[in-house]
Amino acid sequence: MPQNRPVLVLGCGVSGLSSSILLLQAGHAVTIWARELPPHTTSNQAAALWFPYLAHPMERVGPWASRTLAYFKQHLLPDPASGCRPTRVQDLYAHPVETPWWAGAVAAYRRLAADELPAGYVDGFETESVVIDTSVYMDYLVAWFRRLGGEIVQREVTGIEEATAECKWVVNCTGLGSRQLFGDESLHPVRGQTVKVRLNGVEHSILDDEGPNGLGYIIPRSADIVLGGTAQAADWDTNVRSADQAEILRKAANLHPAFGEVQVLAAGVGLRPVRHEVRLEAERIGDALVVHNYGHGGAGFTLSWGCAEETRMKVEG
């Protein structure tokens, strides 16, 4: 196996950090260049749950998501300092639904009984997943990367030749930044606003993607509960909007009575990097190999380790 390759990774979100860690573990020398570092990345704005959402195509997303879940179970859940822990997730629907295509990837999956459904819902399922507290996990990844000998440089790249002039192996994990860097207009933002509230005893996650409170979600973490959300396509506004916040609080109260009254701690906005399909492929640019790993939509954490493994393999080509 080729070892000790110098690799330049662009981007310090979950995709860049996960790819870099696996490259370092395989013996390569990795430097990250990134315009924003944690806690100022889109990745920091996610809650996040392992849950395939707004990412395509299904035939590649499925194996990446399964690999990632297995990786979380084997390497992250055993260490409480990672900010990752198992969680029960209830997904609610106002119409009968088929078993989700990814149900086989999770250990426990069951359909909810009628008396377990809140008013307004006729179907739903419960599954065992992983909650990834990004306020802990992103710093954990940075510390892990540095411990393995990686270097981080805060630097914006305005043209890919800046990177290929520096290094013959480049990994592109710039998320939404790839729209400008590579002129990729198939990549667009889907705006997500969230509200963080004080813990109130609710310990499981609740989602309504498309029903009367869609897109509403409740995701308890170690020190707060993240309430969502919005999915506003082609909306570049990263300011918190009071109308969105009021809607988010209304939806949470409908999803669970414990959210009738909440103590708001903070609010945030992130732009999901959505594409018709995740771009994970190698491209020759001059005499350099550029491996793209971006466009994970609402599932960047859910796909992170599976995509990082494939990225490493493409670098080693």
> Which residue ranges make up the site for ligand FAD (CB under 6 A)?
10-16, 33-36, 41-43, 45-49, 51, 156-157, 173-177, 181, 192, 194, 228-229, 270, 272-273, 294, 296-302
The tokens describing 259, both together, are 């959210």
Give the residue with the Cβ less far from ligand FAD, 21 or 176. Answer: 176
3-state secondary structure the chain: CCCCCEEEEECCCHHHHHHHHHHHHCCCEEEEEECCCCCCCHHHHCCCECCCCCCCCHHHHHHHHHHHHHHHHHHHCCCHHHCEEEEEEEEEECCCCCCCCCHHHCCCEEECCHHHCCCCCCEEEEEEEEEECHHHHHHHHHHHHHHCCCEEEECCCCCHHHHHCCCCEEEECCHHHHHHHCCCCCCEEEEEEEEEECCCCCCCEEEECCCCCCCEEEEECCCCEEEECCCEECCCCCCCCHHHHHHHHHHHHHHCHHHCCCCEEEEEEEEEEECCCCEEEEEEECCEEEEEEECCHHHCCCCHHHHHHHHHHHHHC
Give the residue with the Cβ less far from ligand FAD, 122 or 165. Answer: 165
CB of 137 to ligand FAD, least distance (A): 11
CB of 215 to ligand FAD, least distance (A): 10
Q: Which residue is nearest to ligand FAD (CB)?
A: 177
Give the residue with the Cβ less far from ligand FAD, 212 or 268. Answer: 268
Give the residue with the Cβ less far from ligand FAD, 28 or 196. Answer: 196
CB of 113 to ligand FAD, least distance (A): 26
CB of 79 to ligand FAD, least distance (A): 19
Give the residue with the Cβ less far from ligand FAD, 9 or 26. Answer: 9
CB of 154 to ligand FAD, least distance (A): 9
Give the residue with the Cβ less far from ligand FAD, 95 or 136. Answer: 136
CB of 228 to ligand FAD, least distance (A): 6
CB of 115 to ligand FAD, least distance (A): 28
Give the residue with the Cβ less far from ligand FAD, 4 or 239. Answer: 239
